[in-house]
């Protein structure tokens, strides 16, 4: 069996606010929702990978930092500067504000939350 990652789907309270957040913060491009005529909106994570934002304004969203998705960058300091410019708080794995966590394997990572509270990890594992 061969499997590859296709997309991640998140339930969101306000799909327009969420799309704006991911466009502003992660600079993701919106792509066509080819699956349905619903209000679900799709964003490209590059290389054919997608983020699907599904409007669920009346659903409870339960979160903790262990439930997150991670993106990698060769320029973690540039991402941190961008987050600071947008006044988005970030922390390390242990919740130390404005800190970078260094894993045992040397990979550096930070965490922040989207408007619905979903955790996003950015690391330098490229």
- Each domain of the chain, given as residue ranges in start order, spans 7-55, 68-123
- In this prediction the pTM is 0.88
Fold of 68-123: 2,3-Dihydroxybiphenyl 1,2-Dioxygenase; domain 1 (3.10.180)
**Model pLDDT, residue 113:** 97
Q: Would you give the distance in Å from CA 88 to the centre of its chain?
A: 13
- Residue 117, pLDDT > 90, answer yes
Non-local CB neighbours of 126 within 8 Å, separated by 6+ positions: 72, 73, 74
**CATH superfamily, with its number, for domain 7-55:** 2,3-Dihydroxybiphenyl 1,2-Dioxygenase, domain 1 (3.10.180.10)
Instruction: Tell me what the pLDDT averaged over the chain comes to.
Output: 94
Rounded mean pLDDT of 29-57? Answer: 95
In 40-88, DSSP assigns E strands to 41-44, 50-55, 68-72
pLDDT tens digits for 73-93? 999 999 999 999 999 999 999
- Residue 14, pLDDT > 80, answer yes
């Amino acid at each position: 069996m061969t499997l590859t990652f296709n997309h991640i789907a998140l339930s969101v309270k306000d799909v327009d606010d969420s799309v704006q957040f991911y466009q502003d913060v992660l600079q993701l491009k919106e792509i066509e929702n080819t699956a349905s005529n619903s209000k679900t909106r799709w964003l490209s994570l590059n290389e054919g990978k997608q983020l699907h934002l599904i409007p669920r304004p009346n659903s409870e969203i339960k979160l903790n930092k262990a439930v997150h998705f991670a993106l990698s960058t060769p320029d973690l300091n540039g991402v941190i500067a961008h987050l600071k410019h947008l006044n988005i708080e970030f922390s390390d794995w242990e919740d130390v504000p404005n800190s970078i966590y260094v894993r045992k394997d040397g990979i550096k990572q930070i965490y922040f939350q989207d408007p619905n509270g979903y955790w996003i990890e950015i690391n330098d594992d490229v």
